[in-house]
Structures are given as C-alpha cells and as structure tokens.
Structure 1
Amino acid sequence: MSAYIWGYPLVRMERVARDYTTVPSPKPDTSYRAPLNQIGWATSLATPDAHDMPTSNNDTFYMSAVVKLDEPYILTVPDTNDRYYVVNVFDMYQELEHYIGRRTTGTQAGRYAIVPPGWKGELPAGVKRLDVSTDKIWLWGRLRIAQGEAVEPVLALQKQFELVPLSAFGKSGAAIKSAAPLKPLPSVQGDEFGFFTELGAAVQDNPIRETDKALFGQFARIGLTEKGFDPSKLNPQVRAGMARGLADAPAVAVASLASTASKRNGWDWVTGLDSFGYNYSLRAVVAGPYLGGNGEHEAMYPIRYTDAKGEVLNGKHRYSIHFDSAPPVGAFWSVTMYNAGDKMLVANEINRYKVGTDTQGLYKAADGSFTIPIQHQKPSGADAANWLPAPEGDFYVILRMYQPSDAVLSDQWKLPQLNRVD
C-alpha cells in the first residue's frame, strides 16, 4: 500500500505524458493535447463534454506540453498586458518545480530555459535558467478568458507562446524535427500486479529522489527496485497481501485527504500543493482528479461536499451561498459546479457552469453583498440572475480564488456558509 501511494503520481504522470501527446482527429476546441515537445492549447472553455481532465475550470484556456529533455528547451512567453496566465513546470512525480506567470514573473515578454538534470553548457543572454529533476516534464498552463470576451485576441496571444530546443533557438527558419512518440508503457493486460509493472518501468526512466531513497529501498521486499518490478520470488502470502493492498490503497489515499485538509466553515481547505514534502497521500490524491493544481499563493480551491448541517449536496434540494463581499483576490474568483459521480461540469439550460468575477448581470446589493442560489430547477425572479445550476443528483462545488490575498490565506476573510433553504 505504501508503494502504491508513493508511486501513484509517477505512474499517473507517465500515463498522462502518453495520453496528452496523443492528439485526436478532429481535435475538439476544448482539447489541449499536442505531440511530444510541442505546445497544445484549448481554444474554448471547458464544457460538460470535455472529459480530458476532471474538475476543469471554466475560467481559463488550458495549455499543455509534455517535453522530453534531451537538451534544454526554451519557452518564450509574450507580453500579456496584465492578462492573467500561469505556466506550471511539473516533474514526473507531479511536483511543481517552477511557476512562470503573472504572480511570479510578471506579464512582460520573457524567455525561460527548462534544463534537464546534469546538463552543462551556456544559455543565450536574457534567458532565465530553470533546472528540473527529471528528464521529462509537463508544462501545464492557464490563460484567462472572461465570459463574453472577444476570443480572437486571446487566440492570437496563445500563438506567441513558443517552445523550441536550445539547438534551434534563435536560428531563423531552423527545422525542428518532430519527436518520436514516447515508448508505450508495458502491457498489463491480465497482470494482477499491473500497477507495479508500470511503476517498475517508470522508476527505470526517472531517478528516485534523494529524500525518497530510504523509503524506496523498503520496496525491494515486494520485488520493486530501480531495475524494475520482479514478482517471481514473492511467496504466496506476500502476493496475497499485495493484492489486498492494491485493492485498498486508492480508498486509503482519498481518506487521507480528511486528515490533510482543514475545515473552514464547512469547506475543505488544502494547502501544500507545491510543496508536498513527505505527504505522499496528498500528492497521490492531487495526482488523480486534481492533477495540475496550483499552490496556495497562486490559487486556492476550497471544496464543498456538504451543506451547513453536514448533509451531502444533492439536486433534490435548494441551497444558497451568501457573500458579504467578493473574495479579495489579485486576479479573479469563481464558484464552479461539478457532478459528484464523474467530477465533470454540469449540463444545464443556460450553459452556466460557474458564477464568478465575470458573470454577466450578477446582482449585488448596495453594500456589495450577493447571494448565489444553487439548485436544479431555475429559480424565479431576481434569484435567476445569480443562479448556479445543479444536477439532479449529488454534486460538489469549488470556490476558485486566483492570486488569493493574505486576508484569504490567513482566514481573515471568512469563507461563506452553504445553506440548504428548502
């Protein structure tokens, strides 16, 4: 079980590296997939039909690039004129190693070299060096697009983000070879220990982090070493225990979220997404349905599964959230609705998947307060302006706060309660 929780993010990232570099044809507007070593952009906001990533936001265009670092790669970013964007640099353990974007590097044009382990050489002048700890990395980006905003200028801005190998940088007209696809992960059809077979392949391609070597050394008892996974010498008792561990480990990891998260007025409040340390359970949970989440200074994602009385949210009831004031953020905020079953956005008659900074016609009182009705059926009267449509069954909501202020992080600004009103 310990090996599963430790290794799940690595296996998940290796799977994602292959999934996100397999480009469908035709490519949906909401897809950010691209061939290896190339940038892919979504050109429309996520919808209920966009199944690539659970819990997608409805605030930004997503960007993805899986990069195999045979040499440094240089990312050129344009001047976004204060438009919010962030590009996260993840290693293959789903550790967030660097931020590029509005909060950390500003929104002026810039160049950043993603440098693989052990590389020695000179970089061009004006290029900032970003060292990473694995030979493959995932660039995961977000670019703000407001509801009702003209999309063409934003699409033009996307095209100014460029990614090239150092060997081609600054060489006008240089031909950049298309990278060969990543080799497939081993086939695990009919393999009762398929996860460990994949993990064994992954550790051969990714160095064990220094801080993890003592823990990883214990996994030799189950046949997992830096040379791969070999179950041939395991006795029946160990094999049976491993099978039980594999069956239980996902639930154990999810259950650990309760001990990792704090509660703020009924909301699950989780920090540390860019500094997991030894919290392997949190890293495993985030690598699943919350893959690519930002650290708390970039964005906060309080999640709400229950009402003020602790009962699971369900579309057969009506709810509301009252804000005394809008969340104090440096960028923008939103409350987004998700189906509990598949963690996807909820289809509805007005095609509204969130309420937030850019909700057109959002009604606020003279003192700046406002209420968001949450229910399946469209409310009547003034409540319709702020309505967040819910599904018929169980659901949850996420309050996203991009560049949250110190007041948010310190709990000086209080999260609003979610009340059942019927």
Structure 2
Amino acid sequence: MAESEKVNAVRRLLTVAGGAAPLMYASTLSTPAVAATADAKANTSQGSSKGQTTGALATTLPPPGLNMHAGYAQAIARMAYVWGWPMVNMLNRFDRITQAPYPGLLNGVLPAAPRGQLAMLHDYIDPAETFVTCPNQDVVYGLGFFSLDEEPVVLQVPDFGDRFWVYALYDARTNQFGHVGKPYKSRAGFYLLAGPNWKGSKPAGITEVVRCPTALANVIPRVFMNDTAQDRQAIQPLINQVVAYPLKRFTGKMQTIAWRDAPNIMPPAQANADSAEAGETKWVVPEKFFDQFPTVLATVAPMPGEEALYAQFRSLMEVAGRDQDIKKLLTQIAIDTERDAIAPFFEWKHNGLPAGNGWNRSTNNAQTGFDYFDRTGTAKSNMFDNRPTETQYFYTDFDQSGAQLNGANSYEIVFAKGEEPPVNGFWSLTLYNEKHLFYPNDLKRYSLGTKNNTLKRNADGSLSLYAGAKSPGGDKVANWLPAPNGKFSLYIRAYWGKQAILDGSWKPPLIRKLS
C-alpha cells in the first residue's frame, strides 16, 4: 500500500467523534497535562443535610517533555506490547487482506476481498492455509474486513433452515460484537454493520442495524457442513447468498456469487513466502511494532477504565518521538517481550483454565474486556475464536500421564456412551501439528466428529478415537486422526454447547497412550 493510502486508511479507521479525531491522533505525540473528568459546575449533594458542594474533578496526566529514564520506559513498553499485540495484529491482517482487487481466493486457498466485501469458500478450508492457527474442517468459512464509520456494510443472511450457522463479527480488539446466528434465532435478511460514529438511519428493507464499537471490523461466517458429497452439493445455493457489500449497493434483493467459481488472487510478493511448514503468517513484527502502535491509540478509543493506560502509552510514544535512545530501546523491548511474554502462549497450558483430565478450556474468548491475558494469548495461539456461548474450546499438548503428545506413539481417546460433548450445534476433535496447523496426510483427514457418518462405535455405545502416525488398522481406521512423527496437539470444539459445556461440568476424555 502506498504511503498516502496508508494515511488515508488511518483516517478512515478513526473511531473518535468528529473534530476530536485529529486531536486524539495528535495526543499520541503530545499529551495535555490535565484532562477534566467531571462537569466544571459544582453540584449540591441532595443526601447531605449540610448541602455539601462537590467541585469539578480533574485527572493529572503525564506532561509532554518528560525526561523519561530507560527503566521506566522499559516497564511501560512491555505492557504496551502485550496490551497492543492483538490490535496491531488486526491492523496488519486488514492491510494484507483488503489488498485483494476483488472477492476470491488468495493463492487459491484463503478467502479475501477488498474493504467492505467478503469472500467465501465452497468447501472445508485447505490445509495449506497460514492466515490463522487452529482452523476447523467442520464449517465452510468466509472472511471480510471493513471500515465501518466511513462505509457501512450490508451483510446478507440466507435461510439456512436447520443447519448450524453463525456470523462471528469482530472489532479491532478481536472481541465479538452483535449476535447474528442460529443460537440467536436470527432471521434471514439484510444486516447493516455500522461503526460507532455513523450518523445514518436504518434504511427500508434492512433487518437490523448492528453497531461495532470500533471502525475496523471483520466478519468470519461459519456454516456447518457434513463430510458427504450430498451435503457439499446441498450447501452451495446457501453459501452463494453469503455476500457483503457497501450500503450504497443495497437493492433490497439477495445478491449471489457462485463461490465454487471464485477466482484465484496472486498475493503480494512478501506473502508468497508463507507456508504451512513455517507456521502462521507473522502478523506482528516486533521491530515494527512501536511504529504501528500509535495507529492503535488513534483508532481504538479507550474503554471506560482504560484512560490511565492510554495516558501512559501516549507519554511513552511522545518521549520516543524525540529521544532516539528510547526509540532504540523500544525496539529491543519488543523483541524481548515477543520472546518472553508472547511466544509462551503457544503452549496450551498457558491458555484458559484447567478443564480436567489434562485439558484446558477457553474462558473469556472473544469477550475479553480487561482480560488482556486471554485477549493476547488467544490472538497468539488461536485467533478469531467464538464467544463461550457459541463455542467452547478444549485443548491439550499432553496425554493422561502429562507427557507431550508425539506421533511416534499411538493414543486412544474414549468418549463413554452419552459422554460425547453435549451440544445443540456440533462437536469435533481436531489434530494439529506443532505450528497449530493441519498435518497433511494421505487420508486428507484433520478432524472427526458430528460431520462424520462413518465413525465406528464400540459394542457398549462408547466412541474410541485414535491419534498417531501409525494406522491402528481394520475398522479403527475410520476413527483415526493421522499425526506427524513429532509433537502434536488435540483440540475439541463444542459449538452451541448445552449447560454442561457452559458450566464446566462436562469433562474432556483421558488421552491414553497405547502400548
């Protein structure tokens, strides 16, 4: 993207109101010493017999021109890196994906579209994808990125009937907004996505206006599909109606795109190097982080209660703007914090809370609030997950003895009769390599669960699934997840979980190493 286009993109993404936007951006360089936080007029307390008067309250902020020493700058910078990592991640995904000249498949694999539109797959996602870790092969995915203050977007929802579906809508913080999907009994129709400062009114023919708290947003539709030729055919007319476009193109009639025929898009030169062997695309580059961080401060307004954090971060950036030694220090702090604080999130034991039998479960996924640990950990390990009420995730790197899962061994995972994940939607068990991506195999099998009608159950009604590099042979092959000859992890999804999933009373099964 040309430099002038980047500047324009920043302007489009500003989420603060009207003329205050330039001031907020400027405040990343110069911070006022005092900000009023209450009306300047005194108020008389009605509950006091003395009629006590309370004057205006003011919050003292760091002044510009501080001679900030390296130790203090280091402390603030480490927190800034952990706090801002998911949002810099989102900015870079937005920049990359919206370079698509038209809706299609990036490198023939990943759905991509210009800003204000989306693209859909027509089948399960290809194992070669590196856009995001921990993809699933239970749904047909879509992807689109938006700048909603400048350009509200119409999102079409066809009549999916009894099929499970959900449109996960994410803001710049990686949290979900809105409720559009089968769990919410959403109707077929046209949903208008608008930013916090859009001033328009609901047009005729629009089913619902869904407000995003930030201008930057994205959507990932998920539509369940059984692993059969019949369902692959049946789903096509439905997903062809999953289309998004700017409000100015709204006609009141369903527009369709034959996603099976979506054109291939050649990616930018730097993206050609991305490969599944190398892991997920590196969306946050430590050496560039603090060059991009002011954009986050300018385009994502603080949540109530975050004002003090913003003041410290802006003060740090003001100092770095005039002190080259501090600026160089920030680069090193970013590199160190990536290694020490971000990289460990790739181990599942550092994500969520214990769920029993050696598994962990997600907690505040996609509704993190002030839970920066969850927000950053999820952005590193499995970004774009769903709310707990939509999906609960269980994950582990270990067998029941606490040993690392390794494809050189064979494992059995037994769901007792009636103890498969209790869901209203669907469930699956997925195997990932050490990069949290699919392991290519001759069976082209990466997960097992509701979508499979070929699973073999035991005589007592229980279900045994197998994982390992070596085939278990015979009828067990239908229940086998091929693994690499090395480390791997297992991951259970429970979509639209019942109460036992929501309250944590359901426990994932033991993973038993076979002799």
TM class by shorter-chain length?
Answer: 0.7 to 0.9
Residues 223, 234 of structure 1: 8 Å contact kept: no
CA separation of 1:172 and 1:303: change in aligned 2, threshold 3 A: closer
Residues 6, 280 of structure 1: 8 Å contact kept: yes
Residues 253, 281 of structure 1: 8 Å contact kept: no
Whole-Å separation in 2 of the counterparts to 1:27 and 1:258 = 32
Aligned to 1:201: 295
Matched residue SS, 1:408: helix
1:170 to 2:251 alignment: yes
Matched residue SS, 2:451: coil
Further displaced range: 20-29 or 323-332: 20-29
CA deviation profile, 1:356-410 (whole Å, cap 9, x unmatched): 1122421112442111111111112332221111110100010111111111222
Whole-Å separation in 2 of the counterparts to 1:264 and 1:8 = 30
Whole-Å separation in 1 of the counterparts to 2:444 and 2:314 = 52
Pick from 393, 400, 404 the counterpart of residue 308 of structure 1: 400
Aligned to 1:215: 309
Structure 1 runs of 4+ off > 6 angstroms?
171-174
Whole-Å separation in 2 of the counterparts to 1:367 and 1:251 = 48
Aligned pairs for 1:176-255 within 5 A: 193-223=287-317, 230-233=320-323, 235=325, 239-240=328-329, 243-244=332-333, 246-253=335-342, 255=344
Residues 155, 242 of structure 2: 8 Å contact kept: yes
Residues 76, 112 of structure 1: 8 Å contact kept: yes
Amino acid at match of 1:157: L
Residue 4 of structure 1: how far off its partner (Å): 0.6
Q: How many residue pairs are counted as aligned between the two chains?
A: 399
Residue 192 of structure 1: how far off its partner (Å): 7.6
CA separation of 1:161 and 1:172: change in aligned 2, threshold 3 A: closer
Pick from 80, 92, 95 the counterpart of residue 172 of structure 2: 92
Whole-Å separation in 2 of the counterparts to 1:265 and 1:338 = 19
1:357 to 2:357 alignment: no
CA-based RMSD of the aligned residues comes to 2.6
Q: TM-score, normalised by structure 2?
A: 0.72
Whole-Å separation in 2 of the counterparts to 1:377 and 1:259 = 29
Whole-Å separation in 2 of the counterparts to 1:207 and 1:409 = 31
Aligned to 1:118: 197
Q: Which runs of 5+ in 2 are unaligned?
A: 1-77, 256-284
Residues 194, 211 of structure 2: 8 Å contact kept: yes
Residues 134, 206 of structure 1: 8 Å contact kept: yes
Q: Which runs of 5+ in 1 are unaligned?
A: 175-190
Residues 303, 396 of structure 1: 8 Å contact kept: yes
Residues 68, 136 of structure 1: 8 Å contact kept: yes
Residues 30, 44 of structure 1: 8 Å contact kept: no
Aligned pairs for 1:65-84 within 5 A: 65-69=144-148, 70-84=150-164
Aligned pairs for 1:18-417 within 5 A: 18-23=95-100, 27=106, 30-69=109-148, 70-106=150-186, 108-125=187-204, 126-150=206-230, 151-170=232-251, 193-223=287-317, 230-233=320-323, 235=325, 239-240=328-329, 243-244=332-333, 246-253=335-342, 255=344, 258=350, 260-324=352-416, 325-340=419-434, 342-417=435-510
Further displaced range: 134-143 or 259-268: 259-268
Aligned to 2:93: 16
Whose radius of gyration is greater, 1 or 2?
2
Residue 281 of structure 1: how far off its partner (Å): 2.2
Whole-Å separation in 2 of the counterparts to 1:27 and 1:218 = 39
Q: TM-score, normalised by structure 1?
A: 0.87
CA separation of 1:123 and 1:261: change in aligned 2, threshold 3 A: same
Residues 334, 355 of structure 1: 8 Å contact kept: yes
Residues 151, 247 of structure 2: 8 Å contact kept: yes
Whole-Å separation in 2 of the counterparts to 1:302 and 1:272 = 13
Residues 405, 489 of structure 2: 8 Å contact kept: yes
Matched residue SS, 1:51: coil
